Structure 1
Amino acid sequence: MNKSEFNILIVEDEFIAFAYLKNILEKMDFINIYNARNSNEAKDKVSTYKINLIFMDINIDGSIDGIACARLINEKDNIPIIYTTAYADMNTINDTKETNMFGYIIKPFNYEDVDVTLSVAMRFLEKDNTTLNIIDEELTLTKDYKYYKNSKTLKKSGVVVNLTKKELEIFNQLSLKINQNISYEFLIDEVWKGKEVSLSTIRDTISRLKRKVPELNIQNVANYGYILKLNE
């Protein structure tokens, strides 16, 4: 998707917070970035511009919050929404699932947090624009975790798990070979494309991945590699 034609709306009532996120998006080469401070302004911007994606702060000015604002927008326009919030309690997350939620970012966030979450949303949008009616193959890992093979998206309780590119590539390989040992050499070939990389780099990346998905049973195989173990 051409970024020069991509319109992003940031619903945020604090100017500093808006400017910070806008600066990150501009570094990613997005040009058309709009701001709304409350639900009325958000609906006006959606009506005026062809908004492709919304960053929605949950706590905004006005009589309704960001989640209620998203519901109103989604009644007419099925626009993907990424929530920004200082809180990540399950009640709030469950409420966002009633909207066209594509992820959430916890404040304070950085460039990488935005990049990872936005890249997932962009992949979905690109698939919608180029390939209609294709079912994204779903792999149920646990009661809470599901992995979507075509879009390479991991979700916990319906919420996208934010993984870096390398973490996602490693997880993809593990998910393709569940309950099978994967060697260090295989990961180097598939994830790092044969480039020279130390075992400590692989271990560090796996450690970060495991911290993000502690409920999934990713185990070290001594002197060999790793395995994603699931109950059969």
Structure 2
Amino acid sequence: MKKILIVEDEMITSLEMRMKIESWGYSVLDNVKSSSDAVETAIKNKPDLIIMDVVLYGNEDGITAAENIQKHVDIPIIYVTAYSSEMIMERAHKTSPYAYIIKPFDDNELKFAIELALKKQELKKEFDEKQELHSIISKNLGDVIWILDLKSAKFNYVSDSVEGLRGYTPDEVLEQSMEDVLTKESYQRIMKALPERIQSILSGDESLKVSKHLVDQTHKNGSKIPTEVVTSFLYNENGEVDRVLGVTRKLELPTK
């Protein structure tokens, strides 16, 4: 059951919201009415959602409470308030609330805002978990995965493992062209064969759709890296070849 924290200094309003929210199947934590109590309760209990009044008991308002909470935990916040001045809205906007509801509000408006906020947070959590998994795999994968845009001859994507291979960060590589990545001899050889390969594929020859190359790449320290690169073409919505998907692996040459 999802836990919701209500931060509201008007007791009657707080009790009314609690009854409604519990009737919708959510668990409501003890109501708090000050900024300091809101921060302490949020950090300690980690609710799934906070419904925050902007004007609270004490010297600090709900926006300040939200700012302090966000320094410690990632919890979606819905503001409820009777005030909608431009200054308040601007301050509230900086805390990235999931909704901003003006009192008095309709029950369905609050219910919909809660459902939407919880769903958005669930999707965000799933996305963050996938991003974290991707980062772990990318950093620990020896092979470098990349996508090159043929029109600009620059990279659209490169995995984190490129830093272990070439010494450049992914952001640095995204600023490089294929000519910057390969040695002069390897670049000229690839560019000479590329048009013929594309034309063969467009003519229906699928044998060259996936190809393997031995090329030398440049390291940030100036050294040359022998690599094996497997590439395949990607197509746009018009069926035209516009990108290259590649996997690069360092070749371990036998020592003499």
Q: Residue in 1 aligned with 2:116?
A: 120
Return the TM-score normalized by structure 2: 0.48
Bigger Rg, which one: 2
Cα offset, 1:92, TM superposition? 1.4
- Root-mean-square deviation (Å): 1.6
Residue from 94, 104, 110 that aligns with 2:90: 94
1:1-232 pair list within 5 angstroms: 4=1, 6-132=2-128
Return the TM-score normalized by structure 1: 0.52
**How far apart, CA to CA, are the structure 2 residues paired with 1:34 and 1:58?**
18
**How far apart, CA to CA, are the structure 2 residues paired with 1:74 and 1:96?**
13
8 A contact 1:103–1:117 mirrored in 2 = yes
Which stretch of structure 1 is more off in the superposition, 24-33 or 8-17?
24-33
Which stretch of structure 1 is more off in the superposition, 74-83 or 43-52?
43-52
Cα offset, 1:78, TM superposition? 1.8
8 A contact 1:56–1:66 mirrored in 2 = yes
5+ long unaligned stretches in structure 1: 135-232
8 A contact 2:52–2:78 mirrored in 1 = yes
8 A contact 1:13–1:38 mirrored in 2 = yes
**How far apart, CA to CA, are the structure 1 residues paired with 2:104 and 2:41?**
26
Q: Residue in 2 aligned with 1:205?
A: none
**How far apart, CA to CA, are the structure 1 residues paired with 2:16 and 2:44?**
24
**How far apart, CA to CA, are the structure 2 residues paired with 1:87 and 1:40?**
21
**How far apart, CA to CA, are the structure 2 residues paired with 1:53 and 1:100?**
13
5+ long unaligned stretches in structure 2: 132-256
Q: Per-residue displacement from partner, 1:55-101 (whole Å, max 9, x unpaired)?
A: 11001011111111111111111211100000222221111111131
Q: In percent, how many aligned pairs have the same letter?
A: 31
AA in 2 matched with 1:92: I
Cα offset, 1:103, TM superposition? 0.7
Secondary structure (helix, strand or coil) at the match of 1:60 reads coil
Q: Per-residue displacement from partner, 1:6-39 (whole Å, max 9, x unpaired)?
A: 2211111111010111111112111233311101
> How many residues are aligned here?
130
